[in-house]
Amino acid sequence: MIQIPDAPLLVFDLDGTLAETAGDLTNTLNVILEREGLAPVTLDDARKMVGAGARALIQRGFAAEGRSVDGARLDKLFSDFLAHYEAHIADVSHLYDGVTPALDRFEAAGYGFAVCTNKVEVPSKKLLKALGIDHRFRAICGQDTFRDNGVNIAKPDPRMLNMTIEMSGGHPSRAIMVGDSRTDIDTAKAAGIPVIAVDFGYTDQHVSAFAPDIVISHFDQLWDAVHTIEKTRA
């Protein structure tokens, strides 16, 4: 894809925003939990745990049973989680209704796209490839894409969003974030980037509680939402 400097850029979260992935994430989490002698979590409960990356998901799964896990043990479980998840990356995961037509419409209008997710980069790219849209993004950035003194830079650190925009050849003044959680909204606000929230993703509260610029309930509404924001920038 030809990158046009300062062209408008839509930066998407992945899980719960572009794709319904809770089923495969829950199945993988339950493989880990059951192996550790813990009760499996339901899909509804897991949907409230997703969003901060696999390490946090594992910790939240343990916490649901009143247990904690950290250090070397968490590192081992994280490695096992990734191995199983990547082998089952899209058993049941799928794009949300309207994603492809929305990307088509924005691309025809000159927009570029990027992904900024707290999922690890490799499975993020593998998932988007399995879903057939990896080629549409100028950058696919995960929680391990950017580092500072050996430490991952992940949302809600605004640097992750700004660095994703830079890697995509975009500019903050022409970028809009699209996400499904408080983490996405807080990240965008801290970076000074407008944010559109979808209300069908993974959060324990309705996204309107976190005061995004606009809330949408279907990708059919994204076009009008983006142009409403752009009118305020004119």
Catalytic (active-site) positions: 13
Q: Using alpha carbons, select from 48, 60, 66, 89 the residue that is nearest to residue 183.
A: 48
Residue 171 has a CB neighbour count (10 Å cut-off) of 14
Q: What are phi and psi of 195, to 5 degrees?
A: -135, 130
| CA separation for the pair 167, 225 (Å, rounded) | 25
What three-state secondary structure class fits 186?
helix
Q: What distance lies between CA 20 and its chain's CA centroid?
A: 11
